[in-house]
Amino acid sequence: MAKITLVDDDENIVASVSLALENHGHTVDAYHDGVTGLAALESDPPDLVILDVKMPRMDGMEVLRRLRQTSELPVIMLTSKDEEIDEILGFNLGADDYIHKPFSQRLLIERVKAVLRRARADEEEDGVMSPGQAASMAASKPLKRGKLTLDPARHDCLWEGRPVKLTVTEFLLLQSLAQRPGFVKSRDNLMDAAYDDQVYVDDRTIDSHVKRMRKKFRVIDPEFDAIETLYGVGYRYRET
């Protein structure tokens, strides 16, 4: 079970979400504004963050932006806004998932389980390794593709020997692409690689993650072009 930090200024949501998570065995630390929440995340990092967008003192987008400067903690964003641009901005800043208010507790629990599962893909459950977990263990060996090195066991990504900090979702997407250089992966293929089958995301979510990955690599290598876009088809990794 996980340690989860919840940051939301709505006391009713904090109470109901905390209760639902605790009933599933998680421990929850709750904060009611962005400034206090960010300080707690930096001083005592949890396994997962649930972060409201609209809050006093510092909104969730700014908390996420600052958090991503030093940490790749899994983050689920909560929002009461219906504007698509807010969701796209959240993914561009590095959110792992997004839930619109009002939401059911069952949906939230499933999303939490999915994000934690991606973050702990190499863990065993009940002491028995399933076929999927065995495949995950086999895929945990370091992967070298030209200038790129991926070490799933350590969640390390290197480009020309220099570290690139990726979120869990970004790492899984890049790993899927790099496993078969030159082969095109559709957005559906990439969704399957990075998201639980109970979680629906649209094409723009994948595009946002890829855009953010490219930006991170280009900080180290301005000429980075290993992730190619095939418009109307998908993406592929070009070994350099």
Range list for CATH 3.40.50.2300 in the chain: 3-119
pTM for this predicted structure? 0.57
- Dump pLDDT digits (tens) for 107-126: 889 889 888 887 775 343 33
Q: How confident is the model at residue 229 (pLDDT cuts 50, 70, 90)?
A: very high
**pLDDT at residue 187 in the model:** 85
Helix, strand or coil for residue 38? helix
Give span(s): CATH 1.10.10.10, the chain. 133-237
CATH code for residues 133-237 = 1.10.10.10
CATH classification number, 3-119, choose in 2.60.40.10, 3.40.50.1100, 3.40.50.1820, 3.40.50.2300: 3.40.50.2300
pLDDT score of 28: 95
Q: Are strands 48-52 and 27-31 parallel, antiparallel or unpaired?
A: unpaired
- How far is CA 24 from each of CA 28, 42, 90, 108, rounded to the nearest angstrom? 11, 25, 27, 12
Give the strand pairing for 143-145 and 97-100. unpaired
